[in-house]
């Protein structure tokens, strides 16, 4: 006895309806199961038709291997599957489905019709069911493959049916399921029609980039970097959106593990870490990540919907995802498919720098140029310096031929500084449009990466002060500084206790010379204190450097000369992450000439 009720065993009918609730949450979830069955059947074409948000009809047709009559009857039984044979197979499952629950769950809460044929030369089989009960089984003509029609979902479970949303909302969820499955399977041709209107018809044998272009628009991937990365047993491919193209939600974070759409706390954390210091608070990136690994290293049997996965070596997966994103976004990463000033990181010049106003030998593309007159068809080629800093003694060369085409690794063929407006923002002209640069944010990024490289390599250059400076701090600030004194010294600060809450500073990191030692030490010690309780040593250091870079960078309302602007543009081009400052603010905003023509009605 439990309370006043007698314990009893539930009937198969009630148990199957309860079980169905775990798999069939709404029409979109049953569509997911049916598409995955088609994928497992090696289909090369999957066509979907939906009526009234899936309430009246969800139909999925494929040209896969199909089934004979006996297997078709077994397929609708609970826990009947062709994907596994024993318990050991669960540990290495590579198919989308394997639990043998989906069709049985769907048939128990709908009016169901399955028509299938395993061979063109033989007849097919048609099975009709209603609320989990067999209605009819007969031979039927059908091409090779399977068609499943699900009508009146939850007609026999009123409590579930009344919780369905409006037709528009359910149609939105269906489109989202289709989108995810289409991205996961670019080699399969797919179509989707809702209420008689065809919304998608996607070609088969497509690459991932082509499939994304079909779904999101041909120019969508211009703001992405191609991602290819391997670490241990994990291989990662896909695309990572540049930080300037961020969103207020996570709706464009697509992660697939062995082609299975998957979620996992460690994956969410890894994506956030990959974009740390690149995005403002509350903003999220757009990414398409495909992780490939041995199925034995992944547990997909966490939930009946197979929505969540677990990893045997989660730390390895986490580090691989972080490394993949960072590698793709850095200048040394694999070249992306997008172009434009947002991709300025591609223009990093290895083993070379550009001397302002200099010219160079033939074959070198001009990356930027300051001139009082429009460039028209005249180009100056910048002189490239060797690693020792000695400039090449090439004579200037003026080219009057059409400008050279931009290669995959450069953001622009040339760039001309137009000037500074509003006491802050710098305007740059390129061959594709114009760029607005925030010098303060750009200088932050330059200082951050320059100093971070020194700290990481343990080669911080310190510059002694002409006169040591005594810094008096509040008791709270002094306590923070005292607790983190060894780390701050390792960062290049010559600082020592002077009694009470006073400290003597006799040197600063070279890149922060001219900055108030007091404000730097207060900000760094504060960020270390705040970061220490929730992050490790590496993150403490990055936060501290970011704060220091902010303090030392160009200030708003600071008027800059053209030579200073030019130097800043060159330095920004050479950084790994030039899109944002260390706090996630934009450094560059690009407007294309096409956008200007559209706004002025000149298209």
Residue, of 284 and 404, whose pLDDT is higher: 284
Q: Which residue bears the tokens 């979109």?
A: 28
Closest CA to 494 of 485, 482, 507: 507
Q: How many CB atoms lie within 10 A of CB 326?
A: 20
Ranking 52-61, 459-468, 499-508 by mean pLDDT, the lowest is 459-468
Return the pLDDT at 360.
32
- On the question of a common fold for 12-202 and 341-438+558-599, the answer reads no
Residue 555, burial from CB neighbour count under 10 angstroms (0-12, 13-18, 19+): exposed
Maximum distance among all Cα pairs of the chain, rounded to whole angstroms: 99
Please check the confidence at residue 6 and state whether its pLDDT lies above 70.
Answer: no
| Separation of alpha carbons 296 and 8, rounded Å | 39
Return the pLDDT at 546.
63
Return the pLDDT at 391.
32
Return the pLDDT at 64.
93
Please check the confidence at residue 162 and state whether its pLDDT lies above 90.
Answer: no
- pLDDT tier at 547 (50, 70, 90 boundaries)? low
Averaged over 495-506, what is the pLDDT?
87
- pLDDT tier at 602 (50, 70, 90 boundaries)? confident
Do residues 460 and 509 make contact, with C-beta atoms less than 8 angstroms apart?
Answer: yes
Please check the confidence at residue 306 and state whether its pLDDT lies above 90.
Answer: no
* Statement: the pTM of the whole predicted model exceeds 0.85: no
The number of residues in the chain equals 603
Q: Which residue bears the tokens 């059908």?
A: 142
Residue 333, H or E segment: none
Do residues 498 and 469 make contact, with C-beta atoms less than 8 angstroms apart?
Answer: no
Please check the confidence at residue 384 and state whether its pLDDT lies above 50.
Answer: no
**Residue pLDDT, tens place only, 74-98:** 888 865 555 444 545 455 555 554 4
Do residues 587 and 442 make contact, with C-beta atoms less than 8 angstroms apart?
Answer: yes
Query: Kind of pairing, strands 502-509 and 494-497?
Result: antiparallel
Closest CA to 382 of 428, 415, 343, 431: 415
Question: Cα–Cα distances in Å, from 335 out to 51, 54, 296, 370?
Answer: 43, 42, 32, 28
The 3-class secondary structure across 120-132, one letter per residue, is: CCCCEEEEEEECC
Q: Mean pLDDT highest for which of 117-126, 153-162, 181-190, 223-232?
A: 181-190
Return the pLDDT at 525.
66
Query: Kind of pairing, strands 433-437 and 425-430?
Result: antiparallel
Give the rounded percent of residues in the chain with a pLDDT score beyond 70: 69
Return the pLDDT at 381.
28
- pLDDT tier at 148 (50, 70, 90 boundaries)? very high
Return the pLDDT at 34.
93
Return the pLDDT at 572.
84
**Residue pLDDT, tens place only, 412-456:** 667 888 888 887 888 988 888 888 988 888 888 888 887 777 776
Return the pLDDT at 15.
55
Q: Which residue bears the tokens 């206790």?
A: 497
Please check the confidence at residue 409 and state whether its pLDDT lies above 70.
Answer: no
Return the pLDDT at 413.
67
Please check the confidence at residue 5 and state whether its pLDDT lies above 80.
Answer: no
* Strand order across the 415-421 sheet: 415-421, 425-430, 433-437, 588-592
Return the pLDDT at 571.
83
The 3-class secondary structure across 257-325, one letter per residue, is: ECCEECECHHHHHHHHHHCCCCCCCCCECCEEEEEECCHHHEECCCCCCCCECEECCHHHHHHHHHHHH
**Residue pLDDT, tens place only, 509-537:** 776 666 677 767 776 666 555 544 334 34
Averaged over 133-147, what is the pLDDT?
92
Please check the confidence at residue 551 and state whether its pLDDT lies above 70.
Answer: no
Return the pLDDT at 74.
84
Return the pLDDT at 548.
60
Q: How many CB atoms lie within 10 A of CB 424?
A: 17
> In the CATH hierarchy, which top-level class contains the domain 219-329?
alpha beta
Question: Cα–Cα distances in Å, from 122 out to 68, 72, 145, 534?
Answer: 9, 15, 12, 65
| Separation of alpha carbons 137 and 72, rounded Å | 10
Domain boundaries, the chain: 12-202, 219-329, 341-438+558-599, 442-552
Please check the confidence at residue 463 and state whether its pLDDT lies above 90.
Answer: no
Query: Kind of pairing, strands 260-261 and 298-299?
Result: unpaired
The 3-class secondary structure across 342-355, one letter per residue, is: HHHHHHCCCCCCEC
Averaged over 575-591, what is the pLDDT?
81
Fold (topology level) of 12-202: Heat Shock Protein 90 (3.30.565)
Residue 7, burial from CB neighbour count under 10 angstroms (0-12, 13-18, 19+): exposed
Do residues 260 and 300 make contact, with C-beta atoms less than 8 angstroms apart?
Answer: yes
Please check the confidence at residue 336 and state whether its pLDDT lies above 90.
Answer: no
Q: How many CB atoms lie within 10 A of CB 2?
A: 6
Which residues have C-beta within 8 Å of that of residue 586, sequence separation ≥ 6? 244, 438, 441, 579, 580
Return the pLDDT at 541.
56
Q: How many CB atoms lie within 10 A of CB 506?
A: 16
- pLDDT tier at 410 (50, 70, 90 boundaries)? very low
End-to-end CA distance of the chain: 78
* Strand order across the 287-292 sheet: 224-231, 234-241, 287-292, 253-257, 260-261
Return the pLDDT at 454.
74
Ranking 8-12, 211-215, 492-496 by mean pLDDT, the lowest is 8-12
Please check the confidence at residue 46 and state whether its pLDDT lies above 60.
Answer: yes
- pLDDT tier at 191 (50, 70, 90 boundaries)? very high
CATH code, residues 341-438+558-599: 3.30.1540.20
Mean pLDDT, all residues of the chain: 75
Return the pLDDT at 44.
96
> In the CATH hierarchy, which top-level class contains the domain 442-552?
alpha beta
Residue, of 442 and 53, whose pLDDT is higher: 53
């Amino acid at each position: 006895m439990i309370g006043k009720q007698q314990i009893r065993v539930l009937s198969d009918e009630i148990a199957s309806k309860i079980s169905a609730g775990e798999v069939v949450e709404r029409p979109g979830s049953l569509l997911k199961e049916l598409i995955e069955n088609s994928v497992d059947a090696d289909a090369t074409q999957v066509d979907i038709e939906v009526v009234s948000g899936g309430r009246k009809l969800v139909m999925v047709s494929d040209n896969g291997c199909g089934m004979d009559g006996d297997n078709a009857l077994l397929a609708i039984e609970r826990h009947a599957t062709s994907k596994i044979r024993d318990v050991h197979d669960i540990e290495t499952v590579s198919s989308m489905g394997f639990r043998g629950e989906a069709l049985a769950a769907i048939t128990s809460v709908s009016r169901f019709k399955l028509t299938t044929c395993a061979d063109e030369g033989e007849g097919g089989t048609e099975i009709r069911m209603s609320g989990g009960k067999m209605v009819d089984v007969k031979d039927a003509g059908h091409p090779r493959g399977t068609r499943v029609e699900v009508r009146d979902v939850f007609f026999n479970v009123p409590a579930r049916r009344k919780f369905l949303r409006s037709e528009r909302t359910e149609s939105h969820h269906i489109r989202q399921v289709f989108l995810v499955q289409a991205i996961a399977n670019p080699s399969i041709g797919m179509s989707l029609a809702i209420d008689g209107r065809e919304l998608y018809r996607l070609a088969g044998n497509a690459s991932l980039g082509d499939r994304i272009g079909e779904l999101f628009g041909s120019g969508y991937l211009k703001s992405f970097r191609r991602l290819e990365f391997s670490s241990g047993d994990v291989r990662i491919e896909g695309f990572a959106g540049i930080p300037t193209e961020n969103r207020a939600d996570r709706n464009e974070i697509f992660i697939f593990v062995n082609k299975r759409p998957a979620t996992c706390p460690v994956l969410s954390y890894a994506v956030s870490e990959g974009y740390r210091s690149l995005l403002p608070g509350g903003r999220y990136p757009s990414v398409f990540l495909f992780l490939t690994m041995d199925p034995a290293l992944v547990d997909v049997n966490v939930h009946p919907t197979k929505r969540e996965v677990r990893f045997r070596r989660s730390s390895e997966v986490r580090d691989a995802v972080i490394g993949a994103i960072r590698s793709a976004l850095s200048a040394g990463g694999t070249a992306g498919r997008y172009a434009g000033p947002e991709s300025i990181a591609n223009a990093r010049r290895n083993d070379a720098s550009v001397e302002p106003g200099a010219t160079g030998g033939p074959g070198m593309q001009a990356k930027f140029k300051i001139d009082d007159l429009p460039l028209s068809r005249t180009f100056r080629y910048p002189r490239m310096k060797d690693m020792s800093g000695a400039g090449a003694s090439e004579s200037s060369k003026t080219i009057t031929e059409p400008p050279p085409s931009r290669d995959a690794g450069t953001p622009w063929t040339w760039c001309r500084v137009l000037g500074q407006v509003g006491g802050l923002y710098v305007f740059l002209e390129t061959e594709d449009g114009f760029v607005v640069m925030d010098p303060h944010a750009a200088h932050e990024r330059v200082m951050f990466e320059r100093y971070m490289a020194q700290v990481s390599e343990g080669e911080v250059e310190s510059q002694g002060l002409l006169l040591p400076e005594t810094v008096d701090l509040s008791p709270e600030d002094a306590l923070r500084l005292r607790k983190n004194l060894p780390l701050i010294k390792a960062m290049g600060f010559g600082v020592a206790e002077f009694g009470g809450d006073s400290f003597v500073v006799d040197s600063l990191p070279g890149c922060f010379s001219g900055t108030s030692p007091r404000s730097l030490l207060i900000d760094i010690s504060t960020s270390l204190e705040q970061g220490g309780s929730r992050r490790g040593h590496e993150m403490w250091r990055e936060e501290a450097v970011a704060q220091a870079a902010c303090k030392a960078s160009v200030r708003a309302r600071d008027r800059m000369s053209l030579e200073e602007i030019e130097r800043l543009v060159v330095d920004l081009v050479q950084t790994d992450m030039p899109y944002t400052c260390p706090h996630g603010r934009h450094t560059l905003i690009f407007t294309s000439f096409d956008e200007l023509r559209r706004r002025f009605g000149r298209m």
